[in-house]
Amino acid sequence: MMHRTFRLTGLLACLLTASALLGACNRRDDAQTTGDMNPASAPDTGTAGTMGTTPGAMSGTGTDNPGGTAGATGSGDTSGSTGTTGNTGSGMGTGTGTGGDTTAPGAAPAPSTVTPGASSQAPLSAQDQAFARAATEAGLYEVAVAQLAVERAEHPDVKSMATTLVDDHGSANNRLAQLVGTRMSLPNAVPAAKRQVIERLGKAKGQEFDRQFIRQVGLQDHQADIDLFQKAEGQLTDSSMKEFVQTTLPTLRHHLSMAQDVARKLGVKTT
């Protein structure tokens, strides 16, 4: 009996020892499991690649290729030319430069094809000089009397025509002076006979001014201008002066046509 009691006591001690060992093992496994589940030690997944810009001379913008699939431990760094990966992650944010300035630096501009309007330096003949003086005096008069009509005219068509005369004859005067250059001296004032016409028109008012302006300036003076230019076209010897006549004649004819239209509205005879 005594012997059997010792055997039971030894068996119970062995069971207690085994139970203690098993509990210690379980506690160690639980601690390891808890450490593995701790967020501080969790593996970092590779972050998505943002926008990888390609360094270099060309100032293009990198194309966005979000990479960064989950890695076991590192984070996907995409701030390079191809974006480095994590330890086991595959985040690749490649940046390809596009849209940079492809114009070659320092390229010379295309040569201008516009030739400056320089006048000929050949001496002007007596006929050329006589025409230049007469055309300049007529042009100065046309501008001065048309400026008066811009201020005094009552009919809107008369005022509109006067504005056109100021612009067109002023441009023609400047062009003729450029063509002549230093080859002769041109008049710079309205001749006395034409100043008297301006003074007489200045005394008229209202519709009477409109009729006198159209009759005198629009019809008579422009017909005289056309006759002067047509005669000079067959007599001039300077090529630049001939070109001036040929390009100005259509404008003078247009002015006469305008005056004829306005004259009919005002009851003024055109012949």
Instruction: Please list the pLDDT of the chain residue by residue as tens digits (271 residues).
Output: 444 544 555 555 555 555 555 555 455 555 444 444 444 444 444 444 344 333 433 333 434 444 444 433 434 343 434 434 434 433 333 444 444 444 444 444 444 333 334 445 789 999 999 999 999 999 999 999 999 999 999 999 999 999 999 999 999 999 999 999 999 999 999 999 999 999 999 999 999 999 999 999 999 999 999 999 999 999 999 999 999 999 999 999 999 999 999 999 999 999 8
- For position 21, what pLDDT does the model report? 56
Residue 174 CA to residue 231 CA, distance in Å, equals 22
CA quadruple 114, 118, 122, 127: dihedral sign: positive
Q: Residue 6 in 3-state DSSP?
A: helix
- For position 68, what pLDDT does the model report? 40
Query: Domain coordinates of the chain in residue numbers?
Result: 126-266
Under 8 Å between Cβ of 231 and 223: no
- For position 121, what pLDDT does the model report? 74
Q: For 144-196, give the DSSP string.
A: HHHHHHHHH--SHHHHHHHHHHHHHHHHHHHHHHHHHTTSSPPP-S--HHHHH
Residue 19 CA to residue 12 CA, distance in Å, equals 10
- For position 271, what pLDDT does the model report? 81
> What CATH homologous superfamily does 126-266 map to?
Ferritin, core subunit, four-helix bundle (1.20.1260.10)
Residue 89 CA to residue 68 CA, distance in Å, equals 6
Alpha helices in the chain (DSSP H): 2-37, 126-152, 156-180, 192-202, 206-213, 222-233, 239-266
Q: Treating both helix axes as pointing N-terminal to C-terminal, what angle do 239-266 and 222-233 enclose, rounded to 10 degrees?
A: 160
- For position 55, what pLDDT does the model report? 40
208 CB-near residues (< 8 Å, 6+ apart) = none
